[in-house]
Amino acid sequence: MEEEEEYSNSSSKGTKNKVEEGLVLILLKRATSILTNGRLAFVQVRHHSNANPEPGQKKIAKWRMRERMKTVSVALIYCLNIGVDPPDVVKTDPCARMECWIDPLLLLPQKAAENIGKALQAGYERWQPRARYKLSADPTVDDVKKLCLSLRRNAKDERVLFHYNGHGVPKPTSNGEIWVFNKNFTQYIPLSIYELQTWMGSPSIYVFDCSAAGTIVNWFIQFAEQREKENERGGSGSFNNNSNNMNANNSSVIIKDYILLAACGANELLPMNPELPADVFTSCLTTPIKMALRWFCSNSLIAKQTITFEMIDKIPGRLVDRKTPLGELNWIFTAITDTIAWNTLRREVFQKLFRQDLLVASLFRNFLLSERILRSLNCIPISYPKLPPTYQHPMWEAWDLAVDLCLSQLPAMIEDQTVEYQHSPFFSEQLTAFEVWLKSGSEKKEPPAQLPIVLQVLLSQAHRLRALVLLAKFLDLGSWAVNLALSVGIFPYVLRLLQSLATDLRQVLVFIWAKILALDKSCQLDLVKDNGHNYFINVLSASSTVPSEQRTMSAFILSVISNNCRPGQSACLNGNLLSICVQQLNDPDPLLRRWLILCMAKLWESFEEAKSTAVKAGIHEKLCSLLTDPIPEVRAAVVYALGLFMGGAEGDEERTSIELNLGLTLPIVTEDASPMVRKELIIALSRLIKCYEVQFKEVAAEMFSGEKNSKDIASLKKKVSRIRLSEPTEENEEKHNNNNHETSGGSIYGMLWKVMLSLVGDPFPELSSMAESVVKIIHPASLPDLNAIHQSQGGLFRTNSNQNASRQKAKKQPGLFNSLRISGASIPTSGTASKGSSPPHSQIGNSTPPTPHSIPANLLSGLITPVSNALLSPRSRVSSSDNLSKLETSAEEESSEPVDLQSVFYEWSGEYFSSPLLSPNEMEDPTGPFFSEKLWRQKRNQSVVLESNSIMKQLIRSCMENLEGDQIFGGNSVVNKVHIRLDQVAVADVTEASSSILLHPFEPTIIIADDKDGITVWDREAAQRVSWFRNRSLSAAVNNSSLYSDPIYGISRTTSMSLINDHDISLLLVGSDDGVVRLWSGFDEPAAPLVGNTIGSNPNPFTSSYQANGKLKLTSAWRALPNLVSGTKGAGLVTNWQQEHGLLFASGDAGVVRIWDLERESHIQDMLTGTDACVTSMSSCSTGTRTLVVGCGDGSIRLFDYRSPPKYGPVATYIEHREWVINVHTPKSDSNKIVSGALSGEIKFWDLASTSSTKTVQAYTRNVMSALAVHDYMPIFACGSQNQKIKVYNFNGDELNEIRYHDGFLGQRIGPVSCLSFHSYLMLLAGGATDSLVSLYGTTNSTRNR
């Protein structure tokens, strides 16, 4: 017996454990998938700004010099007086004697002077071979004057160089004079720097190689400042004697544009080291490699012993051949000096000195070497502009290493010329250093020192590919990196590489050019001039061998080349670009499709030749087929391209016909869920209206006058649901008989005008205002007429004076049933369910809402489509004939204003290439803050699920008595018998009756919708209101709050709410009874105080204390069901959001369930409900069978499989309820179970495998039940009634507790219950009532944080 008892106990424990494990498994089933692999909706770039570019243009560095200047003339003045030393200089013995590497004492004086002049000219010709050179040895003042004036006259506005060697004359005077000779060489004659300035003019560059050269620089600057002051005073500053600049008006240009290079300071003598030449400064400027090697040998102990000066002259190779030792040294020297200058100079100084003029750039590179050498000889060379010290820059150590490696191989190469030279690893090592910087580089850090070296490496085939790849990674860091690369001089390098035929460079070159053109689009003419566009056309045409990413970038580059650039458009058209783009329109890559379309759009923008070519090829027809593309950006691109296609058809009947037909085709996207697409539609139609403005004005005036006539009620009903574009009116038929072409055009204009009028009511404020601006220009009177129609709608569908009075009276009655809303729906009281759109009327209010059948025809005449009244301007209140006549007069006055809406879709699309493409974005970067926040949210979500598991285990253990035969959630399962008591844990006053309520599954947030359009967000832990806003445009919610109670402006009421991305940063989806869905982000951010905002004489506690917070943003808005009319009693818009598949189900009094794919932002299917009754609630299951359960106003429950074709309708219909179905729910824990509740108070349980209900619970005996909520994972449900009761049951039908009063001493009675909602995981129940109080109930375990 004991053994049997032990076995029985162990068996019982095992069963209990299995039950608990099964429950936990069910609970975690959905939660785990959401937490780990949850799909996110509305997180694309387009949702951040509705395809509007970021405010503020990106700063483009001034990398292009305004004037590319050349030094075209060079004056070489050398005063040596060979054989005679100047009197003020005592030379050492031995002393430096060589001038331009020639010893003048070894030749006759005249021959030596001639050879020195030729050597000096040859040194300068290395840097500027095409300049005009004039030499003057030991000149007189007149010789210098004639030479300078001649060179300035020939140079015109280009730069002239003046080189002065004063080694044979005294030092400059303290009065600003240099010395020359008289004709007989018997005297030294002073030459004023002031006069030299006058002769040389501007722009100019001066090189002074003499002792105390700093004195010349000081006086030169002083004279220049003196001239500037004279010029400002308007004095006789006519100091420029050249023919191009003879008056004082140009003096400011002359004195500012000069460059000075001097060998030493004002109190310094030139070095006299016999191992170096006498003109060390000039040798550094003209022969830097030879001078650097000789100085290195003089200062290196190892080189001194092995390398002689004669060996240096025998280094193999040429300076221009980078493959030879001498050429490689010159290449390294150029890279190092460029790098030193880049890292020490200001960007504008670097641009002027190192990128404007080739000769100036070479001189300043060599000047950096002269500073290093002369400072070691106790001289400090001077320059203007003044440069910071660079002689100790660490890059000089890299130069010494490169020189050392070269000279170490020199003896062997001289001895045996067949010895192979081992190239320096300098460039490879510098690329490695650049690569290391890229791993952690950012805009906040110092720019990479190796960037100029990377550009030099592009000249080498051996390292070119690696350098390009690293350069591409650098450019990908952002626009700041592109600016740096352009300012350092990348442009000519990559432009030249487009002539290369190497296929291995193609990918990286396309990427680099895409990055450059994404920032600076001014390069288009350079590309066309060098035929660079052909390179990208060839890449784009190779569809079979080139990846789609490269072709996408090529299409972008070609679009930039064509953008507002007629030479670029012509070149691309001649390159057969249109046909190449058309052939790839069906490519599977959506980004490529978009840019192919945008490329064609830019090609034919304002270019009639391209449009004619497109018409002949039928390209516009092929684009129309892409209006239903699954990707919103592609659809928007198509509308954008077709919009640019319009215009320029004046006098061409064929083109006119094509444009008007395109206008009739484009409105297919009026029901697009993406505001981005609809915005492009408005802009495209505005272009068409601009082209045919006269015709549209005539049609608008005609239609406006015709709206006053009565029309047949049947045609009016059709116009309410959609715009009829196909049926011509009798008037148009009559015109057709008289003039076929004119009448056809006139009817088309009328149809398109109706489309534009309907777009005025777009739920997205930006779009509505754009459409309204067009209507104002064409016919302003149409706006108040349109609003008057909606005013009629407000009076009929919402309220009239009598109905308002009766409703106000009914509102004071105890039941308050007339204003009661169940999930946003009006609830019938008794009797059989209505077969139409409206539920049975309230017996308390005793007023029947009008139906469309009872509306007089004259009040609905001319109705286009329901328009959101909240978006209408205040002047729409004008309805009298006097006011209308005034508006008609204003229409004539405003007719001169052109229709000019400009699209920014192309600019916004181009921002994609400015963003990082090679590295993960901020959201995906594992080291970034966004990723850390995401991990934190996942852990938080898991903690909520674990807490729910713990609560469930405790509840199950407390009620486990007999487990035999029990199954989880089956029949009489012990789980279904769980006993839970919910007690009040919080109560809040929201000041308005509640119609819908949501508990955030992971945040301590409660979202409450009132019976109008207000949304309140509460923090249940902090027990305080977070924010309040209206489900409309922000401007209307804050600035025009007085419209809240204005009867002229109908206010759509909120009928459904859902949370998008509830496991991440959530969006709030709000559906209203006008069929509009709005998505709000930042809804749960704290609101800011708003002072003095009241509504008329009755201040609203929300609007007077709170406003929409700064982060609140309308992410998207569209008409989920276009044929719903706001204000009618009924369920309104009923929605159900399915996160796992990104589907939104929308229905109501429409006869269909419309399925929206919110990833595509388009509706994909309409399922017929098979009943005339409105849909009151929906619940879907994403796991197992893809089913949708729909509850209807006639009491039926219809089951749909949305994978099956829509023509089959529901796969099953359950007709057991006889009253309005308040709610149907499919628990997430059991996708085969359905719980439904009807107005009559009965709650039924259904199993998909059964044709009838499996259980019925009669919660209320009369038709008073008004709300039903079912927990997703716990077997409990709650129902509320208008009799001010909330009952909680388990799935076994046992009543757990009844809530009638609020907690507290003498707690007041709860109000008539209007809405109930369970927390997705925790044991929390929120209930709203018509008395403005919202209560929160929970168990002890689930309310540790209130």
pLDDT at 743 over 70: no
- Work out the pLDDT band at 13, boundaries 50, 70, 90: low
Tens digit of pLDDT for each residue in 642-685?
A: 999 998 888 788 999 999 999 999 999 999 999 999 999 999 99
560 token code pair: 């930039």
pLDDT at site 929: 80
- Work out the pLDDT band at 234, boundaries 50, 70, 90: low
Q: What's the pTM value of the predicted model, to 2 decimals?
A: 0.83
Tens digit of pLDDT for each residue in 399-454?
A: 999 999 999 999 999 888 888 999 999 999 999 999 999 998 888 889 999 999 99
CA distance 960 to 982: 20
CA distance 226 to 836: 95
Beta-carbon contacts of residue 797 (< 8 Å; ≥ 6 apart)? 849, 850, 1050, 1125, 1126, 1127, 1128
pLDDT at 1119 over 70: yes
- Work out the pLDDT band at 784, boundaries 50, 70, 90: low
Query: Which comes out higher in pLDDT, residue 496 or 236?
Result: 496
Length of the chain: 1346
Give the residue from 750, 763, 746, 757 showing the smallest Cα distance to 785.
757
- Work out the pLDDT band at 249, boundaries 50, 70, 90: very low
Helix (H, G, I), strand (E, B) or coil at 836: coil
Report the percent of the chain where pLDDT is more than 90.
54
259 token code pair: 């460059």
Q: How far from chain centre, in Å, is Cα 672?
A: 21
- Work out the pLDDT band at 890, boundaries 50, 70, 90: very low
pLDDT at site 73: 95
Q: Give the highest mean pLDDT range of 250-259, 632-641, 744-753.
A: 632-641
Q: Which of 334-348, 822-836, 1270-1284 has the lowest mean pLDDT?
A: 822-836
pLDDT at 1341 over 70: no
pLDDT at 1122 over 60: yes
Residue 396 sits at φ, ψ, to 5 deg, of: -65, -25
Q: Annotate 285-313 with b (16+ C-beta within 10 A) or e (fewer).
A: bbbbbbbbbbbbbeebeebeeebeeebbe
- Mean per-residue pLDDT for 266-275? 92
pLDDT at 754 over 60: yes
- Mean per-residue pLDDT for 1098-1106? 33
Tens digit of pLDDT for each residue in 939-989?
A: 888 888 888 888 777 777 776 654 444 444 444 466 677 888 888 999 998
If you search the block for the tokens 């039940």, which residue do you land on?
1265
Tens digit of pLDDT for each residue in 1148-1193?
A: 988 899 999 999 999 999 999 989 899 999 998 766 668 899 999 9
- Work out the pLDDT band at 855, boundaries 50, 70, 90: very low
- Mean per-residue pLDDT for 1024-1038? 69
Q: Which residue type sits at 781?
A: A
Count of other CB atoms within 10 angstroms of residue 807: 15
pLDDT at site 734: 41
pLDDT at 24 over 60: no
- Work out the pLDDT band at 812, boundaries 50, 70, 90: very low
Which DSSP category does 797 fall into?
I
Q: Residue 944 in contact with residue 92, Cβ under 8 Å?
A: no
Q: Which residue type sits at 962?
A: N
| DSSP H or E stretch at residue 302 | helix 301-306
If you search the block for the tokens 């204009």, which residue do you land on?
749
Question: Please, what is the average pLDDT of the chain?
Answer: 80
pLDDT at 201 over 80: yes
pLDDT at site 66: 65
If you search the block for the tokens 């190239």, which residue do you land on?
423
Which DSSP category does 458 fall into?
T
Helix (H, G, I), strand (E, B) or coil at 1177: strand
- Work out the pLDDT band at 1103, boundaries 50, 70, 90: very low
Q: Which of 203-207, 905-909, 946-950, 1282-1286 has the lowest mean pLDDT?
A: 946-950
962 token code pair: 């007999």
What is the 3-class SS of 149-161, one letter each residue?
A: HHHHHHHCCCEEE
Residue 1055 sits at φ, ψ, to 5 deg, of: -120, -10
If you search the block for the tokens 């650049």, which residue do you land on?
434
pLDDT at 319 over 60: yes
pLDDT at site 622: 95
CA distance 103 to 107: 8
Strands of 1285-1290's sheet in order across: 1265-1270, 1276-1281, 1285-1290, 1295-1299
CA distance 1282 to 1298: 14
Strands of 258-262's sheet in order across: 132-137, 71-78, 159-165, 204-209, 258-262, 382-384
104 cis-preceded (ω within 30 degrees of 0): no
pLDDT at 1266 over 70: yes
- Mean per-residue pLDDT for 15-20? 53
- CA-based torsion, 1047, 1050, 1056, 1058: positive or negative: negative
CA distance 84 to 256: 38
pLDDT at 863 over 50: no
pLDDT at site 923: 67
- Mean per-residue pLDDT for 499-520? 93
- Work out the pLDDT band at 16, boundaries 50, 70, 90: low
CA distance 897 to 773: 11
Determine whether 319 is exposed, middle or buried from the number of CB atoms within 10 Å of its CB (0-12, 13-18, 19+): middle
pLDDT at site 39: 80
Strand partners, 1058: 1069
CA distance 1070 to 1052: 11
